[in-house]
Amino acid sequence: MTLKSSWTVILANTLTHFCIVPENVSDEWLKLRFHYLTLTPDVIHLLETLREDYLLGLITNGPSRAQWQKIERLGLRKYFDCLLVSGDLPWEKPDQNIFLEACKLLGVEARTCIMVGDKLETDIKGGKEAELGGTVWIPLHSDEMESDLPDFTIQNVTELPEVLPNSPKLKRSPQTSKIC
């Protein structure tokens, strides 16, 4: 018996012991996961405002199916010009290639892009290694260590306009409607 099959048997036996049907656990987990997965009105407003002037790309690490479920659940397609899921590609953050692929699909140079993320070890490190124009870190917890790795640190994504250039070099043009 493999380690994976051993854990499967142990988990099934434990759940059954507590009168929990193993098949229902996954369904319940998905319900709870999606229940708390929402965009706030201020984040929606931010995305709509940024989209007026900037090309926006989203790069997410994880299994393809799970990440696309989140993207669809949140209705993110309409806010981004490029959506990349590492599960669909041979790389994941922090590999610079995933960042460079997004730049290529957006038709922009890496040095004109800014990486905004909440993970130093994947988002910010990867943005630096890809030689993007800047990195903005949004720590998930206020007690996270300070770091000099990002170019900017903000506490909430809605503060992003405060660190962006006043006049973007690569403004959205009417012919920009490419979705990758």
Question: 160-175: per-residue pLDDT in tens?
Answer: 999 997 755 555 555 4
Under 8 Å between Cβ of 164 and 137: no
Q: Which residues are 114's β-sheet partners?
A: 134
DSSP state of 79: G
What is the CATH T-level fold of the domain 41-163, as seen in this structure?
Answer: Rossmann fold (3.40.50)
User: What are the extents of the domains in the chain?
Assistant: 3-35, 41-163
Residue-wise pLDDT tens digits, 30-85 = 677 777 789 999 999 999 999 999 999 999 999 999 999 999 999 999 999 999 99
Q: What is the pTM of this model?
A: 0.78
